[in-house]
Amino acid sequence: MGRDIYTEEHEAFRDMVRSFIAKEAAPHHEQWEKDGIVSREVWLAAGRAGLLGIDMPEEYGGGGNPDYRYYVIFNEELARAGIHGPAFAVHNDINGGYLRQLCTDEQQARWFPGYCSGEIITAIAMTEPAAGSDLQGIKTTAIKDGDDYVLNGSKTFISNGILADLVIVVAKTDPSAGAKGVSLLVVERGMDGFERGRNLDKVGLHAQDTAELFFDNVRVPAANLLGEEGMGFIYLMQNLARERLSIGATAQAAAEAAFEQTLDYCKTREAFGRPIGKFQHNRFTLAEMKTELTVTRAFTDQCIVKEGAGELSAEEAAMLKYWNTELLKTVVDRCVQLHGGYGYMTEYPIAKAYQDVRIQTIFGGTTEIMKEIIGRSLGV
């Protein structure tokens, strides 16, 4: 599949990422899945390789490169290799956007060096037990008291939740003001009253730590307010498009990987004296997937280019997230079927993919919410 949006420099970076994955992640991933968490060493290794904070200021150890395509390449190669344990995209694509845009000079000096080296791992805490897609319905509060905010509430399904040293917490600083009362606070490891609950037992993504977080009268210094008080909801809306692009682009790469693995399997696995890919039904199924992936790749790359130019709309990001994640689910399901009984064995990558991809249409905004965003943009 042609990728004319990339230069030789991008492809050299892709080669470096593949080497990093082969050395620092792939040999350990099976153990991480058993442990339910990755080693902090892989984060430090990513920092040494210059894979964290690619767009952060060079003075703090970042790459100083605003080209979003480098993050896409990193995410694509992780997806193709089936490496989901280290939630680098949460750190780079999502949290990096908030920190880069909103941190004061003092906050940058305090947090960015560790962020870029991998010594500081980040998470973002939006979802609550009773509030998922409805961010205006959050119950967590942060009430100003002198030079601090007193934070109370709980969050759940937080990626990097166990490992995180910094957590961007979405809270209501003015519970009576609705969306205009939402702010972002940075909670740091070790703050009194900040506790982590279970490392949640998920259907898939077993190597990725996903946690419950609890805040009991946590005194967060006003110096840890991210951006302006009351602007949190606007910041979320501004940054969610990139998060959804990241999920959609990663889903595309994962679907392509599943297809390529299955195509190879169909060329070598024999039944009734010939490769199973020779049967018309199977050949048609492969043809359908190849077509869908090729068409979707064109839109995905178009959105990547638009994001790099600052032109990607919320509606386009929603379309991409909805379409690509639903396509990933469909492609992987068909690929399992083509593998037959072996597709149900977890020693085969396609079986693990079947577990791992189910979350894609849920996190980052459900398919239903994506359709709502698109529908509203149509004036209906």
Q: What is the pLDDT of residues 45-82, one digit of tens each?
A: 999 999 999 999 999 999 999 999 999 999 999 999 99
User: Which residues, 6+ apart, have CB-to-CB distance to 352 below 8 Å?
Assistant: 82, 204, 346
Enter the DSSP assignment of 131. B
For domain 234-377, give the fold. Butyryl-CoA Dehydrogenase, subunit A; domain 3 (1.20.140)
Residues assigned a catalytic role: 243
Q: What is the pLDDT of residues 342-380, one digit of tens each?
A: 999 999 999 999 999 999 999 999 999 999 999 999 998
Which pLDDT value is given to residue 144?
97
Backbone angles phi, psi at 252, to 5 degrees: -60, -45
User: Which residues, 6+ apart, have CB-to-CB distance to 226 below 8 Å?
Assistant: 98, 99, 102, 103, 107, 168, 183, 184, 185, 186, 235
Helices (H), the chain: 8-20, 29-35, 40-48, 69-80, 88-89, 96-102, 105-117, 232-268, 280-308, 314-339, 349-356, 367-377
Residue 147 token pair: 């030079």
Which pLDDT value is given to residue 2?
44
Closest to 350 (Cα-Cα) out of 257, 216, 270? 257
The C-alpha R_g of the chain, in whole angstroms, comes to 21
Q: Do 377 and 359 contact (CB within 8 A), yes or no?
A: no
CATH 3.90.550.10 holds for 123-229: no
Closest to 67 (Cα-Cα) out of 3, 7, 4? 7
Q: What is the pLDDT of residues 270-281, one digit of tens each?
A: 999 999 999 999
Question: Residue 184 carries which side chain, given as an amino acid letter?
Answer: L
Which pLDDT value is given to residue 1?
40
CATH superfamily of 8-120: Acyl-CoA dehydrogenase/oxidase, N-terminal domain (1.10.540.10)
Mean pLDDT score, 173-187? 95
Question: Residue 233 carries which side chain, given as an amino acid letter?
Answer: F
Q: What is the pTM of this model?
A: 0.94
Q: What is the pLDDT of residues 125-171, one digit of tens each?
A: 999 998 777 777 899 999 999 999 999 999 999 999 999 999 999 99
Which pLDDT value is given to residue 135?
77
Q: What is the pLDDT of residues 280-293, one digit of tens each?
A: 999 999 999 999 99
Report domain extents, the chain.
8-120, 123-229, 234-377
Q: Do 282 and 266 contact (CB within 8 A), yes or no?
A: yes
Q: Do 336 and 343 contact (CB within 8 A), yes or no?
A: yes
